Amino acid sequence: MKKSLIFDLDGTLWDTTKQIEIIWINVAKKYNININKFSIKNIMGLTNPEIISTLFNNDSNIGNLFIKECQKTENEYLSTHGGNIYINTISTIKKLSEKFNLYIVSNCQDGYIEAFLNFYHLNNYFKDYECSSRTNLSKVHNLKLLMKRNNINNSIYIGDTEKDYISAINSNNKFIWAKYGFGICKNYDNYINDISELLSIL
């Protein structure tokens, strides 16, 4: 039976920071909201409630409207233009799928993972995926949900932040840190400087 690898998306498989910056700043102008590149970088990988807390001081009315429009625009754009996919990602995913069952768990909106999979034609290489806006659950709970749904007992989570590490250990996963991503991790079971390094360490 194949072992399982579960991937984070942003900062692990691709980087959509530049695309999202443009989209969010343009939408913010419509709402007369002051948002900049620094603010956007700080919210990458957060759940919607966390974004509302960070940018809107828990004002859920304007926060939800703003986020909904931004995320709808993101999905439409990324599904037709893609993002900045990390070098070697596509070839590595294809090779890994021969030996492992692959999954994605990300703190993103519904439709975002689909945009990634559809644009790069990777649907056939991933068995399942889950996101925070579809379940309204934290990453650790989504990891547990996906693992239960797919009868996964022995898996590794690959992500780029300390929060990914915490989610991994709290869902009984080992953790590989994508050192090239967005965050800094003090704790990990292993790390990679390029996704292709998974082929040699696993």
Which residue among 66, 81, 96 closes a domain?
A: 81
Would you state the pLDDT for residue 35?
A: 81
**pTM to 2 decimal places:** 0.92
Sign of the alpha-carbon torsion through 141, 186, 194, 192: negative
* 136 contacts 119 by C-beta, under 8 angstroms: no
How far apart are alpha carbons 61 and 47 in whole angstroms?
16
- 10 Å CB burial of residue 67 (0-12, 13-18, 19+) is buried
Which of 63, 81, 99 lies at the terminal end of a domain, its last residue? Answer: 81
The rounded distance, in Å, linking the Cα atoms of 40 and 125 is 30
Domain of 123 in residue numbering reads as 3-14+86-201
Helices (H), the chain: 17-30, 37-43, 48-56, 60-81, 89-96, 112-119, 132-135, 139-149, 162-170, 198-201
Q: What is the pLDDT of residues 61-110, one digit of tens each?
A: 888 899 999 999 999 999 999 999 999 999 999 999 999 999 999 999 99
Nearest residue to 44 (alpha-carbon basis) of 24, 63, 72, 28: 24
At which of 33, 52, 81 does a domain end?
Answer: 81
Phi and psi torsions of 196, nearest 5°: -65, -20
- Is residue 189 very low, low, confident or very high in pLDDT (cuts 50, 70, 90)? very high
